[in-house]
Amino acid sequence: MPRDSQEPQAELKLGPRERPLQRITINRMPQSLNKELAKRASRLSKSVPKYCRIVLEHALEYRKDYEGSLDRAWPDQPWVEKPVTVPVANRKFNERLKKWDPLGNGTLNDIAVALLKKHLEVRSW
């Protein structure tokens, strides 16, 4: 995909994490989503969970870009067999994500999946 010079790029923050370690466990990630995330993560030399953390941090920073309904239909099944555990910086991050909930999903798991799907629509990295 060609890069848009106006598009905000990934900021690889990945700073220290609060203890006890906080995470978002995605139990039902569609395989099609996981496959696309894995491709993009490899371009940045990151694992899928770390790439997901970068995406979620980016989404909170650029909220307007991630609001609105999804344009692409993602098949819900089949799912990735093992849960994807996304490390997050702290409990406040999870609380901010739940409070924002741009697509009205309710649970942290569903919010994360929706934002990851939306990311693939609005960003090329």
Q: What is the full DSSP assignment across 59-73?
A: HHHTHHHH-S--SS-
Return the pLDDT at 15: 73
Return the pLDDT at 95: 95
pTM for this prediction: 0.89
- 54 or 16, which is more confident? 54
Q: Please report the sign of the dihedral spanned by the C-alpha atoms of residue 45, residue 51, residue 57, residue 62.
A: positive
State how far the Cα of 33 lies from the Cα of 53, in Å rounded to an integer.
Answer: 15
Return the pLDDT at 5: 56
pLDDT, tens digit (0-9, with 9 covering 90-100), for 4-52: 557 777 766 667 788 898 999 999 899 999 999 999 999 999 999 999 9
Q: Is the pLDDT of residue 3 over 60?
A: no
Task: Calculate mean pLDDT across residues 58-66.
Answer: 93
> What does the DSSP assignment read for 77-92?
-SBPSSPEEEEES-HH
Nearest to 56 by CA among 2, 95, 15, 112: 112
- 84 or 8, which is more confident? 84
Return the pLDDT at 7: 72
- 98 or 17, which is more confident? 98
Return the pLDDT at 103: 85
Q: Do residues 50 and 14 lie in contact, with contact meaning Cβ atoms separated by under 8 Å?
A: yes
